[in-house]
Amino acid sequence: MSMWQPVRGPFPATRMRRLRRYAWSRSMVEEHRLDVANLIWPVFLIEGARQREPIGAMPGVERITIDLAVDAAVDAVQLGIPAMALFPKTPIHLKSESAEESCNQNNLVCRALRAIRDRVGDSLGLLADVALDPYTSHGHDGLMVDGQIVNDPTVEVLCRQAIVQAEAGATVLAPSDMMDGRIGAIRRALDESGFTDALIMSYAAKYASAFYGPFREAVGSASALGKGDKKTYQMNPANGKEALHEAALDLEEGADWVMVKPGMPYLDIVSQLAQSLQVPVAAYQVSGEYAMLQGAIDHGWLAEKAAILESLLCFRRAGATSILTYFAPRAARWLNG
């Protein structure tokens, strides 16, 4: 006869650890997965040929010349990374109060767009940043009049900038300026210029964050901005409902998908947008997030692969369909096995 006796007292009828016991069962019940197709690779550009410039605040990330950016694009296609985002470091002598260089058909970004498109064709999405901060002598994303950033005149310049970028081969225009009404204006400008298929990824919820410092060093706007801030047009980090309002407005104006920036400190915003609006949501793992993780990795405080992939998976769990990350090529290699 069996000697089994019922256990007396508290006993868990449901044991959550059972499904965690085996690798196959953990995989079978996995709710979210990170794929190379979710990654967008931001790349910094400089003038010249076959040159690389390390970025002090972003160990392992470099500014590269157009020819090397073309090589990087080929690598991206081979790795399965679906898109790259291009950010220029504009030479100081080309910066001005009115950011004329932003609309120059032969500026650094436009030349890079054409060169990459000529090499890889339509096999890679190319995002172009629609904003004036790389081109203004004061480091702001908009035009300045009497010490104030003026909205509507800035939007007029942004429309011209978006058109020259689309002409050069950008498949995604990504306005990051946070001016009111710019998505609708850019959509109309693109359509009227024959670029009805050009996508718009709106930086819909871009916060006035402390996590942008290394990026501003990378594009050369930090010294121009000085002790200034962008709080009159970027969002207050204390606000969440406002992000829903901003994103809804941008979608109404013609955005194809919306972005939250920064990423990890704002996962709640990513989740709210994804659940409430039921649209594609991008998250930008910004330069400050990269610097913190890479710095800890370099000191041996975090395990490189595990920490990076976990940080990216959390964006997927929150609802992001695409992730802009400087870790993209590393993550792609790991994910490809």
- Give CA–CA dist 240/285, Å, rounded: 18
Residue 261 annotated among the catalytic residues of the structure: yes
Is the Cα torsion angle 239, 244, 245, 247 positive or negative in sign?
Answer: positive
Cα of 201 vs its chain's centroid, Å: 10
Taking CA atoms, 46 is separated from 64, 159, 162, 191, 216, in Å, by 6, 24, 20, 31, 14
Amino acid of residue 312:
L
Is residue 284 within a helix (H) or strand (E), and if so which, with residue range? Answer: strand 281-285
Query: String of b and e for 141-165 (b: at least 16 CB within 10 Å)?
Result: bbbbeeeebebeebbebbbebbbbb
d(CA 289, CA 309): 13
Annotated active-site residue 206? The verdict is yes
Tokens of 7: 């256990």
What's the one-letter identity of residue 137? S
Measured CA to CA, the distance from residue 18 to residue 13 in angstroms comes to 12
Residues in the chain: 337
Q: 89, 95, 230, 261: which is the annotated catalytic residue?
A: 261
Question: What are the two backbone dihedrals, phi and then psi, of residue 206, each rounded to the nearest 5 degrees?
Answer: -105, 115
Number of Cβ within 10 Å of residue 215's Cβ equals: 25
The active-site residue, picked from 206, 227, 230, 241, is 206
Read off the amino acid at residue 331: A
State which H helix or E strand residue 188 sits in.
Answer: helix 182-192
- Catalogue the active-site residues: 206, 261
